[in-house]
Amino acid sequence: MTDVLAQLDHILQQRKTADADSSYVASLYAKGLNKILEKVGEEAVETVIAAKDAAASGDNADLIYETADLWFHTLVMLSQLGESSQAVIDELARRFDISGLEEKASRQQDK
């Protein structure tokens, strides 16, 4: 799995210097963070709708497709902000030995 993410990270980094007319990702970068965030939000909504539809129909194909779009646009967002998928993987790994309830409580104490 991390090989695919690492490949995507590499491609996303390359697209930062590509011509916006030659690459969808380059065009997103050219439009700026707000456009990228708009796409993340749009894909999140589409993923939620696909999940509701999948629960009713038992067919997860659209859910998988929309989740891939959401993950992709999230990776574009991270890349725009100088991060890679590895940072998220590292954070998920850090959480393995932490109770979700304890982690949530600790975030509320920090506020």
The DSSP code sequence of 36-79 is: HHHHHHHHHHHHHHHHHHHHHHS--HHHHHHHHHHHHHHHHHHH
Which amino acid belongs to residue 108? Q
pTM: 0.86
- Distance from C-alpha of 35 to C-alpha of 65, rounded to nearest angstrom: 21
pLDDT digits (tens), the chain, 111 positions: 679 999 999 999 999 999 999 999 999 999 999 999 999 999 999 999 999 999 999 999 999 999 999 999 999 999 999 999 999 999 999 888 877 777 677 767 766
Q: HSE-up of 10 (CA within 13 Å, CB side)?
A: 6
As given in the structure block, the two tokens for residue 46 are: 């589409």
Q: Distance from CA of residue 38 to its chain's centroid?
A: 12
